[in-house]
């Protein structure tokens, strides 16, 4: 098609530019087949790895043109040319962005030029597109999170803390977390963690870290306040409050010089922050934050909560959207009060309490308790997400309270101590290496599936959990579930996890009409089969041609799912890097147990 041809043109131009900039080819191979395999299965290193003179913006442009997914490349050569012209005029534009829209567009462009930002932005968008009413949303959320090992661990650490997990069951899979907490809660957790990591892992100034600490404190205040008001969407309030200062933090991170100019104007004491921001940027922090939140696909309820309010004429609580807006603004204003010198905090908090008392049902005692509780939670929450509070001036300014307060709602807002009741045992730091081991991950996963089978579940949820367990247990693997499709009379791939898994899903289809190949032998005899070398002359002829042409892994393992002597599904495992995934006898036995749990789930639902 024309779109495919354009994508190929862009890729070809990218290869030429890559070689011009680095003096070497982007992919290696002695013949066309090796080169095509490398393009499909190998990651292309950033040009700056070879040529240190290349900056991160040019890196991003080249890598975008060479993306494995044609949909993520430039639409055509014209779009690519425009991007390069933008790059060349980057410094000129930076000197001429004096209007609101141009500042927003300039910020968005600079963000896109960061090496890691395209992946970050894409993942945030995927999480926000997921809907609790869509079957495929479980796959979207799980896949987006599981691609990042660190993010997966942090999400599981949080969902197993008393902050989210009200029961005693350990949750060892993202799929199980979605079943227990719901898609909205899990995607809010993941989006919050991703945003926090994106900013705090590349801190360019001490003040940015202070802003991040203050935003996290405000988010915890919002969560606790919503719980005390009897609202169930407290996780959403957490995210709303966290995003209130998004514009400010992004300016500090991406427009560092402009941020310093704003700080200098404020330090001179002649103008307030909003005026200084508008004077330098031509727009407000709020407008910048809202524009980026929309770019990332956050729902309107969250975006609207970022709209500024007049504290002297607060809108009444008419609906949940208004409540979120009021709570997130109050929480951030309270955070601002605590950034003041200690002798000014009390008066500022008293004034803020009077302003919001009628719309949020708060008083001096409740606010004091909020501060005390949230300060304690900030310390514990930061440990859970591995955020270092050391040397934070902000947390040192927060009053610690007299320790006499009681939780706003017993059992719902306090985070358990890290060593209590084993609630986050599966992800404690001293056990992290043990968690990575295959046997333990499979064993924990089997228990997770068992717990799910005792309650209400859908077949999709169980299958997702089983695939995720295998994927997490086998580093570097691809795991795909294929199900019987009556219309096409095939066992067709439905979903999976791992690098380039979408290509496998598009092309993996086993015709049910019998052929003497490994897949039909597996179905006919109900046996699990492991192929260590698909090119072995004794094996190659037993593997269908469509597999060699469309999948082409060096080795794979298959587990058939047979019910009443009929093939219903198949679990397929290979190595994403072309290597064969080796399994011990014990690991094979554990995966067979998971396969048998899938059979049990199907039978129970029939």
Q: What is the pLDDT of residues 332-346, one digit of tens each?
A: 999 999 999 989 999
Whether 578 shows a pLDDT value over 70: the answer reads no
Whether 179 shows a pLDDT value over 50: the answer reads yes
CATH architecture of 117-426: Orthogonal Bundle (1.10)
Is-same-fold flag (117-426; 437-605)? no
Tens-digit pLDDT profile for residues 166-176 = 565 788 888 88
CATH 2.70.98.10 assigned to domain 437-605? The reply is no
Mean pLDDT (whole number) for 482-510: 91
Cα atoms in the 13 Å half-sphere on the side-chain side of 304:
9
> Given this model, what pLDDT does residue 468 score?
93
Cα atoms in the 13 Å half-sphere on the side-chain side of 88:
6
> Given this model, what pLDDT does residue 253 score?
82
Tens-digit pLDDT profile for residues 366-395 = 999 999 999 988 888 888 877 778 778 888
Band of pLDDT at residue 404, cut at 50, 70 and 90:
very low
Specify the DSSP class assigned to residue 362: -
> Given this model, what pLDDT does residue 415 score?
33
> Given this model, what pLDDT does residue 471 score?
93
Whether 321 shows a pLDDT value over 80: the answer reads yes
- Smallest CA-to-CA distance from 461 within 235, 135, 231 is with 135
User: CA 489, CA 354: separation in Å to the nearest integer?
Assistant: 69
Whether 548 shows a pLDDT value over 60: the answer reads yes
Burial (0-12, 13-18, 19+ Cβ within 10 Å), 300: exposed
Task: Between 581 and 464, name the one with better pLDDT.
Answer: 464
According to DSSP, the β-strands at 477-485 and 566-575 are antiparallel
Give percent of the chain above pLDDT 90: 30
The beta strands (E) that lie in 334-395 are given as: none
User: CA 545, CA 564: separation in Å to the nearest integer?
Assistant: 29
Those residues whose C-beta lies under 8 Å from the C-beta of residue 286, and which sit 6 or more positions away, are 247, 306, 307, 308
User: CA 261, CA 259: separation in Å to the nearest integer?
Assistant: 5
Q: Where are the domains of the chain?
A: 2-88, 117-426, 437-605
Distance of CA 154 to the CA centre of its chain: 11
> Given this model, what pLDDT does residue 367 score?
94
> Given this model, what pLDDT does residue 406 score?
39
User: CA 606, CA 603: separation in Å to the nearest integer?
Assistant: 5
> Given this model, what pLDDT does residue 94 score?
43
Output Rg (C-alpha) for the chain, integer angstroms: 27
Band of pLDDT at residue 51, cut at 50, 70 and 90:
confident
Whether 143 shows a pLDDT value over 90: the answer reads no
* Dihedral sign (CA 196, 198, 199, 200): positive
Mean pLDDT (whole number) for 419-425: 29
Tens-digit pLDDT profile for residues 100-115 = 577 888 888 777 776 6
Mean pLDDT (whole number) for 65-84: 82
* pTM check: above 0.75: no
- Smallest CA-to-CA distance from 258 within 272, 278, 241 is with 278
Band of pLDDT at residue 421, cut at 50, 70 and 90:
very low
Whether 131 shows a pLDDT value over 80: the answer reads no
Band of pLDDT at residue 36, cut at 50, 70 and 90:
confident
Mean pLDDT (whole number) for 447-453: 90
Tens-digit pLDDT profile for residues 457-472 = 888 889 999 999 999 9
Buried b (16+ CB within 10 A) or exposed e, 362-399: beeebbbbbbbbbbbbbebbbbbbebebeebebbeebe
- Smallest CA-to-CA distance from 213 within 372, 353, 338 is with 338
Cα–Cα distances in angstroms (integers) from residue 418 to residues 93, 131, 519, in the given order: 49, 32, 48
Whether 196 shows a pLDDT value over 50: the answer reads yes
> Given this model, what pLDDT does residue 455 score?
83
Residue range 2-88 forms a domain whose CATH class is: mainly alpha
From 22-26, 192-196, 518-522, the region with the lowest mean pLDDT: 192-196
Across the chain, mean pLDDT equals: 81
Please, are residues 195 and 295 in contact by the beta-carbon 8 Å criterion?
no
């Amino acid at each position: 098609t024309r779109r495919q041809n354009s994508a190929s043109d862009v890729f070809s131009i990218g290869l030429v530019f890559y070689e011009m900039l680095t003096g070497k080819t982007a992919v290696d191979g002695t013949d066309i087949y090796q080169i095509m395999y490398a393009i499909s299965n190998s990651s292309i290193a950033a040009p700056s790895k070879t040529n240190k003179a290349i900056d991160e913006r040019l890196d991003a442009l080249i890598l975008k043109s060479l993306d494995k997914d044609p949909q993520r490349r430039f639409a055509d050569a014209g779009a690519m040319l425009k991007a390069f012209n933008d790059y060349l005029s980057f410094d000129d534009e930076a000197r001429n962005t004096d209007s609101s829209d141009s500042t927003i567009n300039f910020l968005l462009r600079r963000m896109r030029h960061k090496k890691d930002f395209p992946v970050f932005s894409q993942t945030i968008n995927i999480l926000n597109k997921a809907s609790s009413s869509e079957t495929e949303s479980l796959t979207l959320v799980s896949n987006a999170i599981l691609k990042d090992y660190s993010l997966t661990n942090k999400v599981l650490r949080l969902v197993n803390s008393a902050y989210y997990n009200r029961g005693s069951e350990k949750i060892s899979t993202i799929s199980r977390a979605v079943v227990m907490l719901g898609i909205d809660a899990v995607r809010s957790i993941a989006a919050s963690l991703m945003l926090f990591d994106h900013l705090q892992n590349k801190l360019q100034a001490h003040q940015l870290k202070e802003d991040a600490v203050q935003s996290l404190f405000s988010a915890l205040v919002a969560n606790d306040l919503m719980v005390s008001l009897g609202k169930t969407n407290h996780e959403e309030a957490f995210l709303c409050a966290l995003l209130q200062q998004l514009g400010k933090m992004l300016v500090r991170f991406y427009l560092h010089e402009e941020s310093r100019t704003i700080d200098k104007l404020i330090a001179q004491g002649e103008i307030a922050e909003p005026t200084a921001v508008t004077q330098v940027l031509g727009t407000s922090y709020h407008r910048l934050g809202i524009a980026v939140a929309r770019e990332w696909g956050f729902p309107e309820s969250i975006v609207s909560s970022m709209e500024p309010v007049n504290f002297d004429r607060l809108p009444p609580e008419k609906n949940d959207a208004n409540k979120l807006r009021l709570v997130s603004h109050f929480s951030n204003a309270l955070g601002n009060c605590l950034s003041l010198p200690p002798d000014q905090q009390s008066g500022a908090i008293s004034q803020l309490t009077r302003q919001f008392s009628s719309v949020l049902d708060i008083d001096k005692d409740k606010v004091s308790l909020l501060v005390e509780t949230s300060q304690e939670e900030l310390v514990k929450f930061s440990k859970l997400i591995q955020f270092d509070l050391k040397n934070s001036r902000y947390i040192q300014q927060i009053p610690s309270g007299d320790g006499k307060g009681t939780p706003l709602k017993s059992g719902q807002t306090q985070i358990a101590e890290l060593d209590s009741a084993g609630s986050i045992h599966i992800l404690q730091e001293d056990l992290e290496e043990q968690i990575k081991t295959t046997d333990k991950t499979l064993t924990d996963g089997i228990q997770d599936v068992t717990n799910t089978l005792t309650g209400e579940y859908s077949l999709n949820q169980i299958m997702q959990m089983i695939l995720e367990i295998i994927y997490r247990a086998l580093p570097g693997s691809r795991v795909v579930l294929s199900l019987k499709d009556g219309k096409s009379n095939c066992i067709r791939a439905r979903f999976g996890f791992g690098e380039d898994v979408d290509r496998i899903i598009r092309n993996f289809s086993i015709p049910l009409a019998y052929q003497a190949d490994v897949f039909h032998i597996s179905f006919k005899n109900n046996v699990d089969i492991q192929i260590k070398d698909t090119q072995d002359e004794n094996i190659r002829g037993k593997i269908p041609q469509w597999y060699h042409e469309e999948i082409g892994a060096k080795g794979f393992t298959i587990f058939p799912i047979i019910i009443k002597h009929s093939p219903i599904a198949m679990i397929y495992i290979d190595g994403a890097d072309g290597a064969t995934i080796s399994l011990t006898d014990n690991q094979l036995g554990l995966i067979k147990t998971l396969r048998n749990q899938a059979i049990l789930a199907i039978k129970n639902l029939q």
